[in-house]
Every structure is written in C-alpha cells, then in structure tokens.
Structure 1
Amino acid sequence: MNKNGIRIKPALLMALSVACLWGNAYAVEGGKSLYLLGKRGPVAGLIPKPGWYVTNDLYYYDGDSNQEFPIAGLLNKGISAEAQVNVLQATWITDTRLGNGRLAIGGVVPYGHVKIEADATATTPGGTTLGGGVSDSLTDVGDPALAASLGWRKRDGDLFRAWNIYSTVFIPVGAYKEGRIANMGANRWGLDVGTAFTFGNFKKGREFSGVLGITFNGENDDTDYDSGNEAHLELTYKQHLPSGFSAGLVGYYSKQFTSDSGGPKVLGNFKSRVGGIGPEMAYQFKAAGRSMGLDLRWYHEFDAKNRVEGDAVFLTFSVPLQPDPPPAK
C-alpha cells in the first residue's frame, strides 16, 4: 500500500501469506483440534509469486477447564494445559497454473513441550472413575502436515482482492502413547479443507482477511475413539502504517458439528466449541536483500465448551529464500 507513506513490500506479503496455507496442533480427543486456531492470520487469501518461503511460528498456549475430557484412553477432569511449540513451515510456490490459479505446496513440522495436569485419570470398563491428581509433560515432535493450495488475485486501482482454496493432511507420526495424558501427536489422520480471502485498500492501507474451513477427524486406532468434525472461522482487520508497522484485531471461532464416538458413555453427545479475539501487530524490514516480517498475535478465548479455554500467543517470522526482485524502472 503505497500512498500517504504507507507501503506493503510485495516480497514480504508473499512470505507472510504462506502462513495461511496450513496449521497443526492436537486432537478433539483431549479437548483440542488438529487445526491450530490462529495460525492463519493477515493476508490469508494471498498466494505469493513463484519461489520458496519459510515461516516459523513460536506458539504459546495456557488454558484450563473443569469439564471431563477423554485423553489417550483415559477420562480426565479438571484439566490444565500449557504448551510451547515451534512450528516450522516450508512452502514452494510453483509456476503451475490450474484454472488460472497459482499452485502452492508445502509442509509443516511442529516440535515443542506440552504439560497437562488433571484431577482424575482412569475409567474402568464399568464406567467407574479411579485415581487422583496427576501431572505429565513431554518434549518431542508433533504430527507433521502436508498441504496444497490454489490461489487467484485481482487489482482494480487501489483495491486489491486475493482468494484461495486449500487442503491439509495431518499425518499421525508424532509422539504419542496410549495412557499418557501429555502427547504431542494425535495418533489419527485428519483432513482440513477450506477457502481464504484478503481484501485490501492500497490508498488507505487497510486490510480485511478471513478463513473458513472444515476439519474431518479420523479414528484413534489405539483408543477406538472417533473424534467428530469441526468448522472454523478466522478473521483479521488491520491498518498498515508508515515505516513498516501495522496493527489490528484478530479472532477465531470453532464449532464441532458432529459428535465424538467410542468414548466413555458419561460424556454423552460430546461436541466442542471455542472463540478467541485479541490484538495483532507486525513489523516489516529488509535484510540480506530480502523483505522479512515479524507478526505478534494474542487470542483470549471465550465461550468454550468441552475443551480447554485460555490464551494463545503467536510470534511469526517470515522470509523468502530468494532475494527480492529489483525494483521496476
């Protein structure tokens, strides 16, 4: 965005936008989703120009709940969860066009630490809960994800529009053990499909982006627990400022629309939901001939049901591996 001293560097837009292609986290079994709510943020609809891009998220989460949750074959109540995860993502924007849209492919690998505390931790075949308080923690690799996206863009004067469709496959090879309440992996396959958009005004420096998706959850073969499917919405509204700074609001809402099955009968019709909202601020800069960016987002959660509720923080660093193209003459 280039008037009144406001400008978004094209290469940085490319680097930031690859974060909108996929996410990764934990399971509905256990009160969390495979899809990492909040990972897709600003410029969510934009597919960059061809090249390689790297995005690294430092993710922190702290939440709790007094509800009962099935985790790794155990029934737990009074959950407190804390996680610090590094999510490394590489994206290749190809020269391939399908239906005049640009194709992007890539993958994500999470590595981090999770700590879970619970009040009750076991259920007998007859449904009786046994045991007292327990605490467990783990530092290991989570479930990786592979994704593909197809995107389009259009500009009319100062107005810019970009949109894409995407799919993400979650691969259950992360650290997981039945009976352990702290796991980095979910031990089941998952598929997330959806669409994203970005509307921008280059003169006024304003941006509005959003993502709407559905996560289809598979069955945990070790526990025979089949998590239900979820819908999620993420929105960003921000103002780009002079000198590379920008600030705005971000939010998400997720709601499970099919029930879990295979869990303890005491759970009944087990569906989850949660919302989150908070501030976002970013800084664009150039180093080593490349436009880079830092983006900080904080989501305070609300309206949680059948999952933990707390605060999520992202610090995202984005960079293209190839140098910026020379300025047009």
Structure 2
Amino acid sequence: MNKTKRHLLGLATLLPAVLAQADDGGISFWLPGQFGALAAAPTEPGWSLPLIYYHLSAEDDANKGIPRGGRTTFGLDAKADLLFAFPTYTFAEPLLGAQAAIALGAAVARSEANVDATLTGPRGRNFSGGTDDSLKGASDLYLLGTLKWNQGVHNFMVYSMGNIPVGAYDPDRLVNIGLGHASLDAGGGYTWFDKKNEFSAVAGITYNWENTDTDYQNGIDAHLDLSASHFITDQTHLGLVGYVFHQVTGDSGSGAVLGDFKSKVSAIGPQAGHFFKVGKALWYTNLKGYYEFDAKNRPEGWNAWLTLVVPLSE
C-alpha cells in the first residue's frame, strides 16, 4: 500500500464523541470505538472531511434502576442515529517533532428510548408505569487535537478532546443529544504497520465537570480502543476491532442517589475498509461493528460505524 493510502486511512480515526448522555444514564462522554485502524499513523497535510454515520441499539437490565435525566428508570430500550461532519486540518510543519492536526465537529441526530418503569422523577416528582421519549436535534461541539510521531513501522500519538455543551439538552427528558456539562479526555496510542498488517491501541482518561441541572458529577472513565487488520489487496483491508471501558472513580453530587454507580463494558466485532478514486482524489470508507458484553451499570447492545473520508487538499 502506498504512502497516500496510509495517510488517508489515518484520517478515519479523527472521530468525535457521540450519543452524548451523562454517566448517570450509563452512557459516557467518550464513546468507545472512536479510534480504529492505523489510529496513530501520520495523515496527509491539509484539509479533509470525515463523515461518520453511527447507529446504536442498547438495553438496560430491566431489574436494575439507572439514574437518567434526574429520574431512576428500569428496563430502558434505546436506539440512536447520528451523522457527523468533522472538518480536520493537518499541519505540514512539525510541532515538537510530530505531525499536528486539529478537528472541530458536530452531529445531527435522532434518539429514542422507552422504559418499563420510572420510579422517581426530576425535581421530586413521582412517576410509575412505562414511558417513552424521542428527540431530534444537534449535538455539542467537539474539539480534537492530535500529535503523531513516525519511526518506521512504529507510530505514536497523543491526543486531547473536549466538548462545548451547546447541544439539545433538557434535564426533564428521558433522552438527550447534548451532554449537559463539559468533559475533557486525553490519552495516547500506538500503531504497528508494515504496509500489509496493522495493530493499533489507544488508551485515554475522561474527566467530567458537574451537571448543574441535575447536581450530578460523573466519575473518571478509562478506555482502550483496539484494531487489527490485514490488507488483502492494495485497496481493501479486513480485520477485527474491540474496546474496553471502565469507570475508575465513582459518581458524586446530591443527584447521585444510587451511590458511586461505576460502569463498565467490553466489545468486539468485524471491520472492513476500502479505497476508491473519485476523479483524481483517493477516498476511503470503513464499516465496523461492535457487539457488547460484560456490561455493568450501563446499557448493553451493539453499534455500527460507517465512515467516509473525503480529502479536500491535493
């Protein structure tokens, strides 16, 4: 595989956090699976436009209460569809010997959920029986920065990502698209790549500020994204992806009625990527899916990502 293809594939890992709900709903600021194939590999300098469609289907344990939007719910069944545009600029001049890139993005989304029972509601109101909710709107704004170093088959990366909480959010709703508070995530990654095979691992930590609408502060989260793939031709690669998510400190605040409520989840699934030409430009698409298991205090299900990377600079 030539240098241009390697650089273009790296752009597919510049993904935003999506389905922005609080840990009090069992969903984190960091969406596991954001980093994938060739995550730490350098990218081509200039502008690019990754477009990401994300679909989620997940359920809670019907026998265990989950704090969500200021209420405690049982038996959540949730689905969400999000479409992101994430313009990215990669600098040609090195910074600290590394290649620097910045990206700013947001999504339009539709989320829906229903629950078997709601026992306590926001601001002290009481509910019983099942209820459902759906919402269409825009997400928060997400800013991502990366630094990448290349040494032959070895590639290293550090990154930081945060949000500006301006998305559709209402503490009285069962579902939200905006997060309702600020968060900051940072970490590092490694990619081994010999032009035919790649292995990537990216680990990070998330800090969450308090949600003043619900008096709830999510704990610190740790996460690991994994990818391994083989190029069966110069244009196509196949492989596996996975992730591990683990909350390392408990939730806090007067709204944390269920205590520290630490969550965790793991997942594994297939991936496929392909390069194709549009005019003289080389585009890239990737499809990957995750099946979740070993969840605790967090919805469990499956999710799929379809990414299209459009190069805007020659």
- TM-score normalised to structure 1 length: 0.89
After TM superposition, the structure 1 stretch with the greater mean CA deviation from structure 2, 25-34 or 79-88, is 25-34
Q: Specify the alignment match of 2:113 in structure 1.
A: 116
CA distance in 2, matches of 1:260, 1:78: 21
Q: Specify the alignment match of 1:38 in structure 2.
A: 33
CA contact (8 A) 2:34 2:225 kept: no
CA distance in 2, matches of 1:125, 1:247: 47
From 166, 172, 177, the equivalent of 1:173 is: 166
Q: Specify the alignment match of 2:313 in structure 1.
A: 322
- The structural deviation recorded for 1:244 is 1.1
- The structural deviation recorded for 1:22 is 4.4
User: Aligned letter for 1:251?
Assistant: G
Q: Specify the alignment match of 1:147 in structure 2.
A: 144
- The structural deviation recorded for 1:242 is 1.4
- The structural deviation recorded for 1:17 is 1.5
- The structural deviation recorded for 1:15 is 2.9
Q: Specify the alignment match of 2:192 in structure 1.
A: 199
- The structural deviation recorded for 1:77 is 1.4
CA distance in 2, matches of 1:164, 1:125: 42
Secondary structure at 1:95's aligned position in 2?
Answer: coil
The reply to whether residue 79 of structure 1 matches residue 79 of structure 2 is no
1:149-197 Cα distance to aligned partner (Å, 9 max, x none): 1111122xxxx22111010011111000111011101110000101121
Segments of structure 1 that go 5 or more residues without pairing to the other structure are: 1-6, 324-329
From 49, 57, 82, the equivalent of 1:54 is: 49
- The structural deviation recorded for 1:84 is 0.7
User: Aligned letter for 2:304?
Assistant: V
From 285, 289, 292, the equivalent of 2:280 is: 289
CA distance in 1, matches of 2:79, 2:67: 17
CA contact (8 A) 2:73 2:117 kept: yes
From 64, 71, 78, the equivalent of 2:59 is: 64
CA distance in 1, matches of 2:123, 2:181: 26
Q: Specify the alignment match of 2:289 in structure 1.
A: 298
CA distance in 1, matches of 2:122, 2:34: 39
Q: Specify the alignment match of 1:327 in structure 2.
A: none
CA contact (8 A) 1:14 1:320 kept: no
CA distance in 1, matches of 2:12, 2:53: 13
CA contact (8 A) 1:296 1:316 kept: yes
CA contact (8 A) 1:44 1:197 kept: yes
- The structural deviation recorded for 1:13 is 2.8
Segments of structure 2 that go 5 or more residues without pairing to the other structure are: none
CA contact (8 A) 2:207 2:220 kept: yes
- TM-score normalised to structure 2 length: 0.93
After TM superposition, the structure 1 stretch with the greater mean CA deviation from structure 2, 243-252 or 22-31, is 22-31
Matches within 5 A, 1:107-256: 107-123=104-120, 130-155=127-152, 160-202=153-195, 205-256=196-247
CA distance in 2, matches of 1:118, 1:263: 24
CA contact (8 A) 1:296 1:314 kept: yes
Secondary structure at 2:43's aligned position in 1?
Answer: coil
The reply to whether residue 19 of structure 1 matches residue 16 of structure 2 is no
CA distance in 1, matches of 2:127, 2:163: 33
- What's the RMSD between the two structures over aligned residues? 1.9
Per the alignment, do residues 288 and 263 of structure 1 end up closer, same or farther by CA in structure 2, a change over 3 Å counting?
A: farther
- The structural deviation recorded for 1:11 is 2.9
From 258, 267, 282, the equivalent of 1:267 is: 258
Aligned positions, number: 310
CA distance in 1, matches of 2:12, 2:160: 13
Secondary structure at 1:173's aligned position in 2?
Answer: coil
- The structural deviation recorded for 1:29 is 2.2
Per the alignment, do residues 200 and 243 of structure 1 end up closer, same or farther by CA in structure 2, a change over 3 Å counting?
A: closer
- The structural deviation recorded for 1:319 is 2.0
User: Aligned letter for 1:141?
Assistant: A
The reply to whether residue 10 of structure 1 matches residue 3 of structure 2 is yes
1:195-248 Cα distance to aligned partner (Å, 9 max, x none): 12110122xx11101110011111111111111110000111110011511100
CA distance in 2, matches of 1:34, 1:168: 10
Secondary structure at 1:269's aligned position in 2?
Answer: coil
- The structural deviation recorded for 1:96 is 3.5
User: Aligned letter for 2:224?
Assistant: L
Secondary structure at 2:65's aligned position in 1?
Answer: strand
Q: Specify the alignment match of 2:92 in structure 1.
A: 95
